[in-house]
Amino acid sequence: MLDVPPQPALTAPAGAQPGLESTVVVALLPRAATSAGDHLLLRDLVARLTGVGPSAVTLAQRCPNCGQTGHGPLSVELAASDPADAPALPGRIHVSLSRAARFLAVAVTGAGPVGIDVESVAALASSPVASALCSPVEAVALSTLAPAALDTALASLWTSKEAVLKAAGVGLRVDPRDLTIEPVTGAADPRLAHWPRAPFQLDGVHLLSVPAPEGTVVTVAVVCAQRPAVVTSATN
């Protein structure tokens, strides 16, 4: 179990909500002082959404590339304090988190593998990311945009690709230029249009934009049969 200092508690959304099998719950929070503190915030949200105590939630990381713990995709295990309660535990829970500047973005769902990414529009605009990010199709589309629109489009494109690669469990071990997201202009919901070595059917990954503070972009990707609804959560 993670040994971390207390952090502000998370509250599940008020009122009756659809089950986690058809929703992805997202929280955008101030970052904790440490990575372990960020993990505790995510752990508390999982506990509240699944109805178990925080001590029953274990977060783990194992790199699929090197096999070492402490980095790589996050996984969740739930344990009942009383063995008689085990049958009532929810099914598999999928989680993801992302950090940018002072923000932490976390996602929790039972629908399927999930990835989330938050980025600062200004930070990406000041970095030479386009050459390492864009497929040829995307580069052509971006070349038609005015500078102000270009910055937001790049942030949306980056977060979409990061979210997809996290949901696939591969992260940036895959060249982002291998993926093509359409459209790049924000005129419609983004979709994964091309990825030759995708580990899932392209129409099986759903890209979801999340309301975010001005100057930031948050995108979630969920691999599942039906497009899930996005539910936002808040802190106390």
SS3 track for 7-52 = CCCEECCCCCCCCCCCEEEEEEEECCCCHHHHHHHHHHHHHHHHCC
Scan for tokens 């009942």, then name that residue: 80
Asked if residues 103 and 216 have their Cβ atoms less than 8 Å apart, the reply is yes
For strand 216-223 and strand 69-78, is the pairing parallel, antiparallel, or unpaired? unpaired
Tens digit of pLDDT at every position of the chain (236 positions): 222 233 333 344 433 344 899 999 999 999 999 999 999 999 999 999 988 889 989 999 887 777 777 777 899 988 866 555 555 566 789 999 999 988 999 999 999 999 999 999 999 888 888 889 999 999 999 999 998 899 999 999 999 999 999 999 998 889 999 999 999 876 678 999 999 999 999 999 999 999 999 999 999 999 999 999 999 986 54
Measured CA to CA, the distance from residue 79 to residue 64 in angstroms comes to 24
Which positions ≥6 away from 16 have C-beta within 8 Å? none
Which run of H or of E encompasses 136?
helix 136-142
pTM of the model: 0.87
Domain ranges of the chain: 24-227
Q: Looking at residue 83, what is its pLDDT?
A: 56
Closest by Cα among 109, 106, 223, 206 to 167: 223
Class of domain 24-227: alpha beta
